[in-house]
Amino acid sequence: MQNTDVTNENIVETVKERYARAATEGASCCGPGACGSSAGEKMTLGIGYSKDQLTAIPEGADLGLGCGAPLNHLALRPGETVLDLGSGAGIDVFLAANAVGPTGRAIGVDMTPEMLARARRNAERRGLSNTEFREGRLEALPVDSGTIDAVTSNCVINLVPDKAKVFAEVARVLKPGGRLVISDMVLERRLPERVEKDVYAYVGCISGAAMKDQYFAQLRATGLTEIEILKEIDYVAVLAEQGPEEAQSLLDRNGVTLDELRGCVKSVTFRATKPVNSTLI
């Protein structure tokens, strides 16, 4: 495949197009048909979700698009308001809604209308009154400042060109003392040049990832503290184990070998806190 230069102008539209197709056809970011229902569920279990969690959500809420299980570490409490960045079909919003109960609220933000429509249908079928899905970009969240107890996100910030703006928005919407747990992709070393310049590899959750040190430096720059990496795995190795055909398809389309990417692309799950005395707005 001929490489396409990764620019901010075409990344957003390409991401929207691919995730719209995922919402309507069940295609994953790995490519059309790469993760069908059974393969997607296997991958979801492989990255840390439990079978009990998957049975607790509406059918069709899991599209196999994550790279971790951040809610397992967020310790949500009844009555809290939680925000999911890039909520997709709603898997983490629905799990969060169960945790915060009827007195709490789970809000998802996504920029893809097709994903929002699917998530809203899922919520309506279950009769969930404590969930809400809003259309918006992560760099400009449609959320009031200082109103969120906890923020989560699963393999989405890597798709945003300006990650510093996302982290600044997270710091803005969190209440003082609020917390986040996020799973995302980072790089331990530079990718092969042909992958870095391929917009489709960006949408496939690889070339959009930032270098690990740069990623966490941007997070620290927002004033968020107590940053702790909770889990770190070689994502390509997990993909190869849980879905070898899907992994090979991904590698073939981007002209790389497993050995070239092994140990390069990491899925990290981390937490951070907004200080109680924070003046961030």
Helix pair 8-25, 113-126: axis angle to 10 deg: 30
For residue 79, give the H/E element and its range. Answer: none
Of the two residues 235 and 82, the one the predictor is more confident about is 82
Strands (E), 35-120: 81-85, 105-110
Q: 33 has which bridge partners? A: none
| pLDDT for residue 151 | 98
- Confidence check: pLDDT of 197 > 80: no
Residue 46 to residue 41: CA distance in whole angstroms: 8
pLDDT of residue 3: 43
Interaxial angle between packed helices 244-254 and 37-46, expressed in degrees from 0 to 180 and rounded to the nearest 10: 100
| Residue 12 predicted with pLDDT over 90 | no
For 207-223, write each residue's pLDDT tens digit.
678 999 999 999 999 99
159-180 pLDDT, tens digit each = 898 999 999 999 999 999 999 9
DSSP string, 150-210: EEEEES-GGG-S-HHHHHHHHHHHEEEEEEEEEEEEEESSPPPHHHHT-HHHHHTTSTTPE
Q: Which fold has domain 8-273?
A: Rossmann fold (3.40.50)
pLDDT score, position 39: 58
Nearest to 266 by CA among 206, 220, 217: 206
Between CA 100 and CA 96 the distance in angstroms is 6
In the block, tokens 């075409």 appear at 10
- Rounded distance, CA 262 to CA 280, Å? 39
SS3 23: helix
Locate the domains of the chain by residue range: 8-273
CA-to-CA separations, 101 to 53, 93, 144, in angstroms, rounded: 15, 12, 22
- What are the tens digits of pLDDT across the range 39-54? 567 778 878 888 888 8
Compute the distance between CA of residue 170 and CA of residue 145 in angstroms, rounded to an integer.
Answer: 9
Strand partners, 183: 154, 269
Helix (H) / strand (E) containing 95: helix 91-100
End-to-end CA distance of the chain: 45
Three-class SS of residue 271?
strand
Orientation angle between helical segments 113-126 and 91-100, nearest 10 degrees: 40
pLDDT of residue 193: 73
